[in-house]
Structure 1
């Protein structure tokens, strides 16, 4: 190839090569918006290098070759600029929602192919020749229809990107002023250069100064990256951080006007339109909060509680006021930061935490109670049984004496068995992997089995059990759990009945989808305080009317098992009149 280098060509080639190296360095080292800027710099470098070698080409075919190279950069510049501006302004979601990037890439490819195949159709360039009237030969073009279509597309994408930058930086804080100015100025340089060339203002003849302007643009932004730490402190990063905060924040200027705020702050305001909040007086936003206004007007730091109400609801807030004490002698010139924290959620969390703490304490008390029972009540009967068996084997007691002790041993063994059953069932229910096997079953058949199980003990005290449940009453629950509940309640009823007492069992269907199973006795009854302690597992086991032992766990297990089956247990008792246990069981799948 033959080249005739001139000053313009040398400048473009030099800075194009420098931009090419910088684009590789930036793309490999950085991420996010900086990486996209590296692609933008690459497109500009290709355009600059191609145009530089075009200006140095005295031969038409050689110049055409470098024009084709230029369009690798020209066709991708608007796309990379748009992506860069979207990323910088925090509009990445537009990639999928509003702007189909695959279509933009396809357009860039189509433009390049149309230019490369222009000799076949002349849609992009109607004609071209070498202009030798100037200081050096230049490639002169006559624009075709596709050129003007691409030019409109080029300006639209550049315009969208520039608009995003302006709107984003207009709302940003003054601390970003220098970097904002540098980017906005850099964005408008190619606009001015290209529009001047487009409308015929060409101080250098047919020389297109747009590639030069893009070189200036990318180098200005490069300076911003490393001079102002452009992408280390992004306005959009600050905005995203504020929007993610659940607390409301607002900044007031010296005249008590809103100059910045986040969406959480807007939630607690009266029904103001969003576009009227910025610049509004704080007195208009919180007209009834005199204590807050006094702190702000006097520039006093502190905390106060507020109650605000709007269409979104009522809020209990804690307002924290902080003044920016830049000049203690001019209090009225100080800015104010307002932080609003929603106490409603905090109070709910506190109540929830308190309830969890109380529940944990109850579980710990119950655990201690179980260990105490295991250590004392379970160990005692087993030791007694072991000693009597040993004495019998050593012929230390006679058969007649053993028969006298047998009823006591039988009661101890029965008590120990019930205790172990209750501890086992309760422990299994606490395991996370323990499943509940809900099925439909006949309530009457289950009750008959449990009554038959307790008949020997009931007959020993001459207690009559009357069962008045119709067959076919179906409930939906875990049969084993309900069986354990009924067994414990019947056992308690017999235990606290005197001789010749009655236990009456009924079942009634309720219209709310439950069957009410009632086990009622006319025994000695329980006081309300004793009943409450027994439900919590706090009370000591109470002996029955014939000195029968209790575990103190029965009602705890009953209540928990019923609730696990979406039911409810209600107990009514009065000393001297007896107790009534109401068990509500679902009749259908919940």
Structure 2
């Protein structure tokens, strides 16, 4: 068979080989369901290659021989296109298993008719050689089966395109270009073929430009697949994956422009209207520089971003993931958003509860230590003194001499018991606050009188300042315990002949009650413990003992009554405890 190459034949042969090579390469990269586009491309390559050899042939017999080879690709291309669109769009064929075999039924019948055309002439009625052009072309008279080939080819291309179009509404914006390119790849060559069938475009009386059109369009589709990873994920599958994700997803390309996102991402965005394809990261995150730096850094990294929305503080975990090719070249960045506000709150709450539990456990241990030592000692001492007196081992005169010291110890025991019972009640039962307006001057005076004997033993003077017409609003029992502990604490750490100032001032509907002593002061370590609510105890100037519960109760009761407590102290110069209490209403003026 003599072959004489010409520009048309050479172009077809070379382009067919190129598209065939690309098809093989791409076929190894794509998954099975998408690989059918490669089979379609390979079919067009077979069609174009052997049509190119036909155009280089010089005789009718030679042309008919190569024509039978080209029909392998010609009859299979529409079928492969149809199968591709069904699989690509995940068309449900589970209940219609006959669909795929039926697609190939007509192509197989057509090819058998082409092979046996010399016996029945159903495809070509007659053939001749056209020599009016620069090279010989096969002239044919169409048989009755030829329109069937054209009809089912057009039908398959049309149905496949309709299936793509119907599924188009499920595709993300990023896949619009992909879908349009596929539709153009199917329609543009068909338009050329329609013009050929109508003899509107038929150079040299018989040259078919359809293979050129198919090879041209699918060459660019192949380049798009390789260059832009086209068809790397089917739109329907991809959209389903993204939309069911509760995390926000943004995908940026190498130019930091947004190329994909899911609907959840707008929930985590500070400017949801800026979430659109093609938008630059610097615009989307203009108000969140830490997230923008994360994207521009192009690293696999996770950060936390805090912001306020609707007067509520939210915490986002933002994770960036590199998108790289096989050569580790970064093609873009994937940004994932997750609202961890509740998780953070739960963690902080658990941490706080653990700290509170530790403190309570320490207080419990201290509680038992107090009962076994500070409470047991004085009570057993009184018991032993009474026993000795009854047995005559201690005379009445000796007993009377010891009585002031016993009385002093019993006062300490009473205060200790009161604090222990109050603390136990607060930890086990909780308190029921009965808030009322209270004459603060009368309350402080009564507590001062209770502690006057303790103060007089150390020659400590207690002076009240600024209590003219001062009414507090709170629970009377709690306020009494607060004042009693503040005064007793000041007496305990005062030196002999010192002075204690109990002052009160009104500001912004709050009473500020302060107890100022000029004793030894508090060390920085113990001052820190006080501010953190940690229990501790130290002995007073006259070796007085304590439990450490008093100031803890003061702080707790003040908070429950809507106030605050502050401590100022200079070691060696004294301490000033101040509490704020809501101001009450003087009933005599109401």
The TM-score, its normalising length taken from structure 1, stands at 0.50
Superposition TM-score, scaled by structure 2 size: 0.50
Bigger radius of gyration among the two = 2
